[in-house]
Amino acid sequence: MILPRYIQTLYAINLLIFLIKENIEHVNSAVYACTQGPRLETAAEINKLKRDGCDVVGMTSMPEAALARELGIHYASLSLVVNWAPGIAEKELSVEAITLSISTEIKKMCKLVPALVNFLR
């Protein structure tokens, strides 16, 4: 989970407490690069984004994050990182490997969301 730096409220503190309490892997701050999809990035694109300081790359999250910030709405992204992109992965990237990763990680997300909603009430 990536938490934008500008969230410094009780809401964010409670969210962090929840993540720690539930032993959920998370990142407090990162640089997100949004690419146009649906397609996988090339090794050259990933290497350029890495040189530019990006920590994670995806095809979603940017429009809503930007709008939330403009409106002063606190925003956190629940994200599944399901593949190590070309140029970073030790082995060749395949759709099958991504699909397997998604099917494994989505089960965790299905447990996380209701627990998070109950915690934040």
**pLDDT tens-digit profile of 50-91?**
999 998 888 888 888 888 888 877 777 788 888 777 667 777
Contacts 24+ apart (CB under 8 A), 108-111: 109/78, 109/80
- Residue 54 structural domain: 10-120
**Is 4 part of any domain?**
no
Is the pLDDT score of 113 beyond 80? yes
Number of domains the chain is built from: 1
**Is 30 part of any domain?**
yes
**Is 20 part of any domain?**
yes
**Is 5 part of any domain?**
no
User: Whole-angstrom Cα distance, residue 56 to residue 67?
Assistant: 20
- Please tell me the pTM assigned to this model: 0.69
Q: List Cα–Cα distances, 96 to 83, 89, 93, 101, 103, in angstroms.
A: 11, 15, 9, 9, 11
Q: In this structure, what CATH number is given to the domain that contains residue 50?
A: 3.40.50.1580
SS3 content of the chain, % helix, strand, coil (to 5): 45, 5, 45
High-pLDDT (> 90) share of the chain, %: 8
**Is 107 part of any domain?**
yes
**Is 2 part of any domain?**
no
Residue 20's identity, in one-letter code, is I
**Is 3 part of any domain?**
no
**Is 79 part of any domain?**
yes
DSSP 34: E
